[in-house]
């Protein structure tokens, strides 16, 4: 009789971690864009990842993890995908409205959910998520044509997001949450030369340090650690579908931190996305157990 409560708790635990992670990421995004005028998108990504890697290395001590050739390859690809996802998304925000950039980037996790799907019911939840995303795109305020370069950056971030999901699950299954620390370190090493070349000494501006620390914690250290735990406790396709809540968190973050007023259409979009996520969550209970992270 105790099996069902434990099963329900095991199902809800990674979902709760994802919700906290997404709320944290969107809070950090509100701070990150304030750094663009000083160090640009390149410098902002660099500071975010450098500080996050320092924090996560100190807390998680990933050098204790054991790797074979296959696991190391997954960790490297995971880290490169993580760095590319952050960098390309910030680059897209320079010329593409946030709602459109998020929608374009989200093609990555949606692709993971679609290609990994096995049942007709799953396509209903995916279709609802897509409808919600389309409703969130602020077409009414973008009379000019979409900047193709910015759109390409956002789509590239989506590709990186898909790789992040797939290889993060593989790498995390072997070494658990320590993989997140190694991934962020690899991402920082990958992006840092770009940010240093672009921003130079502006990266050392004293006023930026506390902001960068906050962005690193809210947008990287905390959410990626939580996501790594979640990734190893649910299938990749369920993770990808649940991440459809991300644009809804973005809209709510804009309301709370930026004073953006949501229209009825946007609230309907949020409802569609949440419905899709709840449906995917209920479906997950009938799936085979995902791999559990090693201690």
In tens, the pLDDT along 61-89 reads 777 777 777 778 888 999 999 999 999 99
Q: What is the average pLDDT across 114-136?
A: 77
* Amino acid 284: pLDDT: 57
Cβ–Cβ under 8 Å, residues 166 and 78: no
Domains identified in the chain, total number: 1
Cβ–Cβ under 8 Å, residues 219 and 254: no
Report if residue 290 sits inside a domain: no
Report if residue 294 sits inside a domain: no
Report if residue 295 sits inside a domain: no
Rg (CA), the chain: 19
Quote the domain boundaries for residue 232: 3-284
Report if residue 216 sits inside a domain: yes
Average pLDDT value for the chain: 79
The pTM for the full model equals 0.78
SS (H, E, C) 60-113: HCHHHCCCCHHHHHHHHHHHHHHHHHHHHHHHHCCCCCHHHHHHHHCHHHHHHH
Separation of alpha carbons 220 and 244, rounded Å: 19
* Amino acid 50: pLDDT: 94
Report if residue 86 sits inside a domain: yes
Task: Out of 74-83, 116-125, 238-247, give the one with best mean pLDDT.
Answer: 74-83
* Amino acid 247: pLDDT: 75
Report if residue 292 sits inside a domain: no
Report if residue 291 sits inside a domain: no
Span 49-64, pLDDT tens digits? 999 899 888 887 777 7
């Amino acid at each position: 009789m105790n099996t069902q409560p434990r099963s329900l708790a095991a199902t809800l635990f990674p979902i709760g971690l994802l919700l906290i992670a997404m709320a944290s990421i969107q809070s950090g995004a509100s701070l990150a864009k304030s750094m663009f005028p000083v160090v640009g998108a390149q410098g902002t990504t660099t500071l975010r990842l450098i500080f996050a890697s320092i924090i996560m290395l100190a807390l998680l001590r990933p050098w204790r993890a054991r790797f074979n050739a296959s696991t190391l390859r997954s960790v490297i690809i995971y880290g490169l995908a993580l760095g590319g996802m952050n960098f390309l998304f910030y680059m897209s925000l320079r010329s593409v409205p946030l709602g459109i950039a998020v929608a374009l980037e989200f093609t990555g996790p949606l692709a993971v959910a679609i290609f990994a799907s096995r049942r007709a019911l799953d396509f209903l939840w995916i279709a609802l998520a897509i409808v919600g995303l389309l409703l969130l795109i602020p077409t009414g305020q973008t009379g000019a044509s979409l900047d193709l370069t910015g759109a390409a950056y956002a789509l590239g971030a989506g590709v990186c997001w898909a790789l992040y999901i797939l290889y993060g699950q593989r790498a995390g299954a072997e070494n658990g949450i320590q993989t997140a620390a190694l991934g962020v370190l690899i991402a920082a090493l990958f992006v840092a030369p770009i940010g240093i070349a672009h921003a130079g000494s502006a990266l050392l501006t004293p006023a930026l340090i506390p902001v960068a620390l906050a962005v690193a914690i809210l947008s990287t250290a905390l959410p990626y650690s939580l996501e790594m735990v979640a990734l190893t406790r649910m299938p990749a396709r369920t993770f990808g579908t649940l991440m459809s809540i991300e644009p809804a968190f973005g809209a709510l973050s804009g309301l709370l931190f930026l004073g953006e007023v949501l229209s009825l259409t946007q609230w309907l979009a949020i409802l569609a996305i949440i419905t899709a996520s709840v449906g995917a969550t209920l479906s997950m209970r009938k799936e085979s157990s995902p791999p559990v992270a090693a201690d």
